[in-house]
Amino acid sequence: DAKTTQPNSMESNEEEPVHLPCNHSTISGTDYIHWYRQLPSQGPEYVIHGLTSNVNNRMASLAIAEDRKSSTLILHRATLRDAAVYYCILIHSGGSNYKLTFGKGTLLTVNP
Amino acid sequence: NAGVMQNPRHLVRRRGQEARLRCSPMKGHSHVYWYRQLPEEGLKFMVYLQKENIIDESGMPKERFSAEFPKEGPSILRIQQVVRGDSAAYFCASSRQGSGSGNTIYFGEGSWLTVV
């Protein structure tokens, strides 16, 4: 399975934008890029996903590099409730793509 | 808009007892998954079920653990003769499809098992 690399931790101030990077240099053409986050003592929460084009939803934006070897999750205005571990996960289209591989993720700290 | 419902949220068992964790998938979802998160570790896939069928149990420990998803009622993860090493957070997840383009999996809030 293609792997992802994320920084261990990042810090942001409240109401500022946050850019969370993810490298996935061995991504295959049929791998979707998914982002989940896990708040303390809760289950992972789906954030956003994309294949090739940039995506926006009410929670965040996903910017995907043209060569798809990296992507960035963008939180436009961080709030204290965005403090969580963010996971970048590749999900293959087809096959056993329910076996999500959660790495260590990026621990986002949001300062008031 | 009910999400994936798990209960109990917290469960304490003595060594040797049985633990039963329940999961109701999101409305319209027929695919259920169980994941386990040991302390200070990432989530690991355990088992994938559809109604009355186990599709993939490659992540389940070979002994003491079993899972079911009956025709009626919630999915159950059962751990017999619990040991301290079973202490973990157990997350249930569900999806509309079992695979396919951009399949999105939604997680419950987890059941925290503590074995004393």
In A, minimum Cα distance to B109 occurs at: A43
Is B42 in CB contact (< 8 Å) with chain A?
Answer: yes
Output the CA–CA distances (angstroms, integers) from residue A79 to A33, A43, A44, B110, in the order listed: 24, 19, 18, 24
Q: Which of B1, B45, B56 is the best residue to mutate to test the A interface, defined by the most A CB atoms within 10 Å of its own CB? A: B45
The percent of residues above 70 in pLDDT, for chain B, comes to: 93
The minimum CA-CA distance between A98 and chain B, rounded to whole Å, is: 7
In the block, residue with structure tokens 């079992």 = B98
For B39-98, the DSSP string reads: TTS-EEEEEEEETTEEEE-TTS-SSSEEEE--SSS-EEEEE-S--GGG-EEEEEEEESSS
Query: Which pair of tokens denotes residue B27?
Result: 């409305």
pLDDT at B98: 67
pLDDT at B89: 97
A46: chain B residues, CB-CB within 8 Å: 104-107
Q: Which residues of A touch B (CB under 8 A)?
A: 32, 34, 36, 41-46, 49, 51, 91, 93-100, 102-105
A44: chain B residues, CB-CB within 8 Å: 43, 91, 93, 107
User: One-letter amino acid identity for A51?
Assistant: L
Among A50, A62, A69, smallest CA distance to A5 is for: A69
pLDDT confidence band for B99 (50 / 70 / 90): low
Query: Which pair of tokens denotes residue A31?
Result: 């791998």
pLDDT at B41: 84
Is pLDDT of A54 > 90? Answer: yes
Q: Is A112 exposed, middle or buried (0-12, 13-18, 19+ CB in 10 A)?
A: exposed
- The residue-averaged pLDDT of A99-103 equals 83
Query: Which pair of tokens denotes residue B53?
Result: 């069928």
Q: What is the pLDDT of residues B35-85, one digit of tens each?
A: 999 988 889 999 999 988 999 999 999 999 999 999 999 999 999 999 999
How many CB pairs lie under 8 A apart between chains A and B?
A: 65
Q: Answer whether A105's CB lies under 8 Å from A85's CB.
A: yes
Q: Across the interface, do B109 and A45 touch by the CB < 8 Å criterion?
A: no
pLDDT at A30: 84
- The residue-averaged pLDDT of B18-33 equals 94
- Whether the bond between B8 and the residue before it is cis, its omega within 30 degrees of 0, is yes
